[in-house]
């Protein structure tokens, strides 16, 4: 049976990482996958995570299953992290613990496909390469809305708002909560308020992918869009990931929060989400979420974690500034200053497909086909090599 199968294409991002691993060039640089690296090119376990992990292990008495929706303490901590203390929307919200942000997105996809009938999921053009595949796999129709002004390398807010105004009522709109992947361009707080107004007025269902909270301008600042949607009275879904902001990539820690019109509606939705989880992965992994709970529930650990998160954010922003300065020093004629204004780990570099290919083949620099670079992959050791290579292909 399996002899007839054709080889499937490699994942556009994970596939590049595999090719990078087997590249023998000592100067090789991997700017493809979205994993944070510190100034020495490492992805360390955060000190707050290390301490919390030791405590969790010392207190652990069983490896028995969690409930389908996961820990209620974790759910409450997630809602407070995304909405802030005492937000009205928390009263009409439920949370399901999920295996990573991807698990939360797929859970949302299965739930929407089963219960909301013939509606599309609209996503920005461009978006994270896995987004259309997740929702198509769940059986949903995927459509796109305009988002990015490629010439100016900025968000095209007018195009975005105009597109949202055309999406039929009841359809799902996937929005990146902050640190838009791949462009690094986010709506301003004022634009978020306009987005929320349009969504509420037209009865759209926002699904906020919140994979980088704290990587943009700060934990609270990055949630400004999500809170604007809640303030406007929207029902919405939020897919959180703690892979990046806690560095818990391989522990698979995420959550899907559903904010309903009222608490009753949210509880009814939860009963269906539980079926979607049960028939998919049954119940979530415990360890990573217990670490997140321990950190968020302990004021000292929380302060330490927020400091470590700020350090990651500030390093990325410093690299952005150095990158722009060094490209200038290498005599690259093009104005790359937009890189300093982008937020999060990614930058849409403006490098075209041909340049990306030459960088990979001749310089062993690995970048996703659309020209997205993970700025956090640049260090003092490889920045000059990278800038010289970009100068050579520009």
- Would you please indicate which residues are annotated as catalytic (active-site) residues? 128, 209, 244
144/337 with CB nearer ligand PLP: 144
Least Cβ distance, residue 97 to ligand PLP (angstroms): 12
Q: CA-to-CA distance for 373 and 393, rounded, in angstroms?
A: 16
Closer by beta carbon to ligand PLP, 51 or else 245: 245
CB 292 within 8 A of CB 74: yes
110, 209, 222, 308: residue in contact with ligand PLP (rule CB under 6 A): 209
| Cα-based distances in Å from 290 to 119, 172, 238 | 36, 31, 20
Q: Work out the number of other CB atoms within 10 angstroms of the CB of residue 325.
A: 15
Q: Give the separation between CA 329 and CA 303, rounded to whole angstroms.
A: 39
Query: What phi, psi does 372 have (nearest 5°)?
Result: -75, 130
- Phi/psi at 39 (5° precision): -60, -20
φ, ψ of residue 241 in degrees (nearest 5): -125, 140
Q: Is the CB of residue 380 less than 8 Å from the CB of residue 364? A: no
In the complex with ligand PLP, the residue whose CB is nearer, 285 or 326, is: 285
Residue 37 near ligand PLP by CB under 6 A: no
Interaction between residue 241 and ligand PLP (CB under 6 A): yes
Asked if 243 interacts with ligand PLP (CB under 6 A), we say yes
Q: Does 128 bind ligand PLP (CB under 6 A)?
A: yes
Cβ proximity to ligand PLP: between 153 and 241 the closer is 241
Alpha-helical segments (H) within 138-256: 157-164, 189-202, 224-231
Contact between 124 and ligand PLP per CB under 6 A? no
From 14-22, 52-60, 99-107, 302-310, span contacting ligand PLP (CB under 6 A): 99-107
126 binds ligand PLP per the rule CB under 6 A:
no
260 interacts with ligand PLP by CB under 6 A = no
What is the number of the residue whose Cβ is closest to ligand PLP? Answer: 100
Region class of 161: left (phi > 0), else alpha (psi between -120 and 50), else beta:
alpha
32 vs 355, which CB is nearer to ligand PLP?
Answer: 32
Q: How far is the CB of 335 from ligand PLP (least distance, A)?
A: 27
Residues that bind ligand PLP (CB under 6 A): 34, 100-102, 128, 181, 209, 211, 241, 243, 254
């Amino acid at each position: 049976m399996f002899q007839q199968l054709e080889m499937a294409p490699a994942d556009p991002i994970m596939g590049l990482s595999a090719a990078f691993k087997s590249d023998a060039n000592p100067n090789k640089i991997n700017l493809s996958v979205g994993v944070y690296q510190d100034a020495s090119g490492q992805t360390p376990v955060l000190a707050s995570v290390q301490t919390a992990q030791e405590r969790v292990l010392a207190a652990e008495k069983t490896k028995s299953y969690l409930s389908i929706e996961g820990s209620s303490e974790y759910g409450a901590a997630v809602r407070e992290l995304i909405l802030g203390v005492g937000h009205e929307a928390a009263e009409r919200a439920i949370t399901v613990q999920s295996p990573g942000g991807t698990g939360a997105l797929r859970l949302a996809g299965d739930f929407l496909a089963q219960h909301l009938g013939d509606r599309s999921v609209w996503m920005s053009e461009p978006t994270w390469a896995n987004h259309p595949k997740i929702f198509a796999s769940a059986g949903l129709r995927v459509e796109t809305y305009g988002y990015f002004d490629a010439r100016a390398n900025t968000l095209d807010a007018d195009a975005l708002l105009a597109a949202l105004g055309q999406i039929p009522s009841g359809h799902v709109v996937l929005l990146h909560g902050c640190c838009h992947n791949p462009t690094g361009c986010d709506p301003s707080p004022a634009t978020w308020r306009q987005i929320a107004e349009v969504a509420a007025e037209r009865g759209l269902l926002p699904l906020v992918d919140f994979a980088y909270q704290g990587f943009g301008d700060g934990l609270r600042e990055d949630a400004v869009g999500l809170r604007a949607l809640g303030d406007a009275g929207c029902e919405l879904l939020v897919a959180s990931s703690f892979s990046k902001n806690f560095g818990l990539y391989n522990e698979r820690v995420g959550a899907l929060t559903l904010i309903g019109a009222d608490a009753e509606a949210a509880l009814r939705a939860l009963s269906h989400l539980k079926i979607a989880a049960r028939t998919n992965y049954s119940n979530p992994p415990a360890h990573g979420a217990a670490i997140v709970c321990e950190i968020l529930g302990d004021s000292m650990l929380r302060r330490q974690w927020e400091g470590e998160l700020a350090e990651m954010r500030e390093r990325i922003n410093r690299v952005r500034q150095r990158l722009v300065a060094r490209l200038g020093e290498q005599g690259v004629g093009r104005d790359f200053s937009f890189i300093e204004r982008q937020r999060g780990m990614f930058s849409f570099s403006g490098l075209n497909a041909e340049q990306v290919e030459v960088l990979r083949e001749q310089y062993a620099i690995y970048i996703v086909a659309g020209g997205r670079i993970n700025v956090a992959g640049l260090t003092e050791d490889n920045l000059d090599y990278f800038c010289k290579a970009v100068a050579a292909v520009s």
